[in-house]
């Protein structure tokens, strides 16, 4: 017997974005974390949180072109362990909301391990997965149109859905952008329960 899933708006989501020193979670550093909650179907901007992280891993010089974070900015930032404890405190018994679980979750898992924390394996909602679901749904409704893969770039996906542009590659701005995208996709998919979003 499956347990009943809570209503989609009966849980707290923490939209999270990481800026990293590359795309390899085994060796590249987390440089910045941004988080913002969705409570009662509203993005709570006043509870948003952002911090730089003193890097403990590799920083690929090519990544600087994307996030514009240089060594002098992160040198006096809190260490990874302190930051991961703050992430963990926010995620405790809540849902993790990300835009591309394949990137953020491996970095988080390694960050937890390096900080000596137990990974809680939170429920994860991924807006990239929701974009694919929305594209499949649109094709079922209009099968005469070609089945096009969705645009998964955060800024481009938001633009296609009529959401405003934000500065990209700032962890808090991207967390807010993810939260807003989630709310639009949830509405488009007509999801009523958390299970329908995971």
* pLDDT higher than threshold 80 for residue 67: no
Q: Give per-residue pLDDT as tens, 107-156.
A: 999 999 999 999 999 999 999 999 999 998 887 777 776 777 888 999 99
| Integer Cα distance of 30 and 80 in angstroms | 8
The residue to which tokens 């085994």 are assigned: 26
**Token pair belonging to 124:** 């994860």
Mean pLDDT of 36-49: 97
| Integer Cα distance of 111 and 64 in angstroms | 20
Q: Give per-residue pLDDT as tens, 79-119.
A: 999 999 999 999 999 999 999 999 999 999 999 999 999 99
Selection from 69, 96, 84, 99 nearest residue 33 by Cα:
84
* pLDDT higher than threshold 90 for residue 70: no
- Of 12-16, 52-56, 119-123, 194-198, give the lowest mean pLDDT range: 52-56
The whole-model pTM stands at 0.91
Q: What 3-state class would DSSP assign to 29?
A: coil
H or E element at residue 51: strand 49-52
pLDDT number for residue 1: 46
**Which domains, from first to last, does the chain contain?**
8-192 (3.30.420.10)
Q: Give per-residue pLDDT as tens, 148-190.
A: 788 899 999 999 999 999 887 799 999 999 999 999 999 999 9
Average pLDDT across the chain, whole number: 90
Mean pLDDT of 30-48: 97
* pLDDT higher than threshold 80 for residue 2: no
Provide the pLDDT confidence category of residue 69 given band limits of 50, 70 and 90. low
Tell me the CA distances in angstroms from 56 to 4, 25, 27, 29, 30, one per residue in order.
Answer: 42, 12, 9, 6, 8
CA-CA-CA-CA torsion sign (128, 147, 190, 7): negative
pLDDT number for residue 172: 96
């Amino acid at each position: 017997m499956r347990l009943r899933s809570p209503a989609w708006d009966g849980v707290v989501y923490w939209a999270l974005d990481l800026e990293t020193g590359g795309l390899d979670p085994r060796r590249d550093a987390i440089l910045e974390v941004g988080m913002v909650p969705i409570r009662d179907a509203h993005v709570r901007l006043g509870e948003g949180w952002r911090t730089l992280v003193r890097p403990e891993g590799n920083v690929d010089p090519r990544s600087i072109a994307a996030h514009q974070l240089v060594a002098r900015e992160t040198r006096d930032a809190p260490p990874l362990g302190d930051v991961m404890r703050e992430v963990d405190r926010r995620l405790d018994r809540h849902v993790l909301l990300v835009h591309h679980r394949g990137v953020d979750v491996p970095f988080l898992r390694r960050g937890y391990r390096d900080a000596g924390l137990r990974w809680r394996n939170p429920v994860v909602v991924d807006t990239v997965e929701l974009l694919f679901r929305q594209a499949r749904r649109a094709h079922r409704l209009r099968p005469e149109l070609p089945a096009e893969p969705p645009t998964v770039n955060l800024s481009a996906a938001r633009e296609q859905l009529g959401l405003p542009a934000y500065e990209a590659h700032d962890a808090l701005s991207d967390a807010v952008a993810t939260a807003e995208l989630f709310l639009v996709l949830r509405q488009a998919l007509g999801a009523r329960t958390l299970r329908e979003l995971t």
